[in-house]
Structure 1
């Protein structure tokens, strides 16, 4: 047991040992006190989808701690072990959250405002201030035909690419302008 404690308190495992104590404490509070400290709003550059940041961070810390502990025991520690632990924690977390996405569906409900800022293709003979339809592709790959209107007397023709820049909820149509890119 003393060898384990020595390894857990040696560099770089000590860095992750401290974080592991924090993570275990967090999950004990969640288990026994109930409730959840809201870390869902924290943005981690992992492509989490609907997975709470607390889950991803916990996985990262646990994997990094394990690799750093093994590195201390097998190689004696050092900066190279720290780099390997960080890389393994990052990669392992990314690989583990992929199947977990089904357990944590994305909470964001789709909205028509999601189309604002996207490009569309005019599908009617024309699109002007009073008439027009265009096809737009959503972030999930699905497409929709939406009502569009131009401003300032612009006239768009079939097949022309346009940029959606606003949504009129009352009229239930999108404002578009010619896409010059």
Structure 2
């Protein structure tokens, strides 16, 4: 849209400049038309910018922390695992997950395919989420 506005204003500036200067001064009209197009588009867009809403922030890995997920691999350990998680907007993603050896030590803490888990942290260096078995509901 912005490029279209620049083109329209540049064309209009060149048209006016050609009419005022005649054919003899056409060599300098290209830079004048480009500047006129940029200035015209800038002046038109500047007040409209306040009417447009701010775009939402880009999604982050941190948005998944605190959400439940479903394990999709046969096991989850300190070096391997994947899970499916649903974002707040309803989309789903398969993410890399890890479970510490301490979390997996208990008999009921083994994470296998189909088990629900809780994402509690994101490791920036390893690009994976830390998960633990989903606590029982207290309802």
Task: Give the alignment of 1:15-30 within 5 angstroms.
Answer: none
**Runs of 5+ in structure 1 lacking a partner?**
1-33, 35-51, 56-102
Q: Offset of 1:107 from its aligned partner? A: 2.5
Residue 131 of structure 2 is matched in structure 1 by: 176
Alpha-carbon RMSD: 2.3
* 2:126 alignment partner, SS class: coil
**Correspondence for 1:158 among 110, 113, 117:** 113
- Partner Cα distance (2:121, 2:64) in 1: 9
* 2:84 alignment partner, SS class: strand
- Partner Cα distance (1:164, 1:105) in 2: 30
Q: Offset of 1:105 from its aligned partner? A: 5.2
Q: Offset of 1:125 from its aligned partner? A: 0.5
Residue 149 of structure 1 is matched in structure 2 by: 98
Q: Offset of 1:180 from its aligned partner? A: 2.2
**Correspondence for 2:79 among 122, 130, 155:** 130
Cα separation, partners in 2 of 1:142 and 1:176, compared to 1, 3 Å: same
Give yes or no for contact 2:95–2:129 (8 Å, CA) kept in 1. Answer: yes
Paired positions, count: 83
**Correspondence for 1:116 among 49, 65, 75:** 65
TM-score, normalised to structure 1's length?
A: 0.42
* 1:114 alignment partner, SS class: helix
* 1:125 alignment partner, SS class: coil
Q: Offset of 1:129 from its aligned partner? A: 1.2
* 2:59 alignment partner, SS class: coil
- Structure 1 residue ranges (4+ consecutive) displaced by more than 3 angstroms after TM superposition: none
Give yes or no for contact 1:149–1:175 (8 Å, CA) kept in 2. Answer: yes
Residue 8 of structure 2 is matched in structure 1 by: none
Structure 1, residues 114-134: CA drift from partner, whole Å, max 9, x if none? 000000000001111111000
- Partner Cα distance (2:134, 2:103) in 1: 15
